[in-house]
Amino acid sequence: MVRAIRGAIQIDSNDREAILAGVTELVTEVMERNRLTTDEVISVIFTATPDLTAEFPALAARKLGFHDVPLICASEIDVPGALPRVVRLMAHVATDRPRQQIQHVYLRGAVALRVDIAQ
């Protein structure tokens, strides 16, 4: 069965190391909370707000071992008043876990984006 897992993290600054550290934290939390291996990950879509341009978020996943997982980065819509410096992800995974057991991960200031599903 295929499930989608959402997540987001607010990054401290538009700095390469800050982006890589934040995305590493986010991806690690998604994998740990959902007890996943990279073999179970089908693909991951990363988006970044337009104020994050110093690095591609997918590089952090590659450094974590996502070598044969299709990854793509895109820019979020520049909505006035939106939370700044946010990287979001949607991971498609192969799992037998019911939808109710999937843990979506929102970290740092990004918790405000989805208080209804953030854990």
Catalytic residues: 6, 62, 73, 76, 88, 106, 114
3-state DSSP helix/strand/coil percent for the chain, to nearest 5? 30, 30, 40
Q: How far apart are CA 36 and CA 87, in angstroms?
A: 20
Long-range CB contacts (within 8 A, 24+) of 111-115: 112/83, 113/8, 113/83, 113/86, 114/6, 114/8
